């Protein structure tokens, strides 16, 4: 009769953690989940749809793109000028989208 292995004796695969880029995009996904949860909860509570939220929903993706550019540059996978250009463009676009998205959001509440 063969001996059974105890749980301590079993070979375990080494733990492989997610890369920083994957973690950054996971946070972007969490932000999107919270934004969708908030808009759907508002809809269920008031039976009104929030209008004009497109610019606000673009901001997390732009933040994720900027974070990816920075993280890849730190890993040596991209040049510094490209990182600066892409991150700067993302930050400018985030600012523009917030500039147009926040007043549009406030108009939904009568502001």
29-42 per-position pLDDT tens digit:
999 999 999 999 99
Note whether 18 and 64 are within 8 A (CB): no
- Whether 46 maps to a domain, the answer reads yes
- Whether 10 maps to a domain, the answer reads no
Q: How far is CA 31 from the centre of its chain?
A: 6
Digit-coded pLDDT (tens) for 79-93:
999 999 999 999 999
Average of per-residue pLDDT across 8-18: 81
Q: How far is CA 16 from the centre of its chain?
A: 22
Structure pTM?
Answer: 0.82
Digit-coded pLDDT (tens) for 40-58:
999 999 999 999 999 999 9
- Whether 15 maps to a domain, the answer reads no
DSSP letter assigned to residue 8:
T
Q: Which residue has the tokens 């793109």?
A: 65
* Residue-range definition of the domain harbouring residue 36: 20-107
What's the CA gap between 37 and 59, in Å, rounded?
16
């Amino acid at each position: 009769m063969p001996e059974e292995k105890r749980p301590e004796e079993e070979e375990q695969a080494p733990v492989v953690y997610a890369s920083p880029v994957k973690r950054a995009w996971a946070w972007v996904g969490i932000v999107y989940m919270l934004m969708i949860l908030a808009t759907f909860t508002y809809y269920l509570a008031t039976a009104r749809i929030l209008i004009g939220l497109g610019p606000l929903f673009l901001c997390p993706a732009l933040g994720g793109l900027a974070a990816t550019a920075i993280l890849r540059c730190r890993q040596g996978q991209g040049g510094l000028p490209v990182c600066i250009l892409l991150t700067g463009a993302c930050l400018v676009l985030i600012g523009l989208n917030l500039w147009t998205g926040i007043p549009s959001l406030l108009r939904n509440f009568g502001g």
